[in-house]
């Protein structure tokens, strides 16, 4: 399966859920469930599923370039040129001490 087929499959699923959500809302009013508990649950579930899949459909469409993205005016300005790198300074040379160093504890004090 190619990427394009996968995207079209996702779009098809989103559209199917949107149609089923619209059918759920229509059936609520056609069966006159109205604003009793069953009707409210059907309305809320249909709206929830419809909105979630509509948002997902919009995200997919924006990623695929089907919906143009808005560019801010600040983004139209060219970015500032990069600063030249700062040269690293060499570390100062350590002076060796003239005192003898002992590896035995307690000596050299």
pLDDT digits over 13-44, tens only?
A: 999 999 999 999 999 989 988 788 999 999 99
Q: Who contacts 47 (Cβ-Cβ below 8 Å, separation ≥6)? A: 21, 25
Structure tokens at 47: 């709206």
pLDDT at position 93, please? 74
Q: What is the pLDDT of residue 41?
A: 93
Q: Domain locations in the chain?
A: 3-65
The answer, yes or no, to whether residue 108 has pLDDT greater than 60, is no
Average pLDDT, whole number, for the chain? 83
Which contacts qualify for 24-28: CB closer than 8 Å, 24 or more apart? 24/49, 25/50
Q: What percent of the chain has pLDDT over 70?
A: 82
């Amino acid at each position: 399966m190619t990427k394009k087929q996968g995207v079209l499959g996702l779009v098809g699923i989103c559209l199917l859920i949107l149609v089923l959500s619209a059918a759920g809302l229509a059936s609520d009013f056609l069966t006159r469930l109205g604003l009793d508990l069953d009707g409210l649950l059907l309305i809320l579930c249909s709206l929830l599923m419809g909105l979630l899949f509509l948002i997902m459909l919009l995200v997919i469409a924006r990623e695929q370039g089907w919906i143009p993205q808005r560019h801010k005016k600040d983004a139209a300005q060219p970015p500032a040129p990069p600063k030249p790198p700062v040269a690293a300074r060499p570390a100062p040379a350590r002076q060796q001490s003239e005192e003898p160093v002992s590896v035995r504890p307690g000596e050299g004090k």
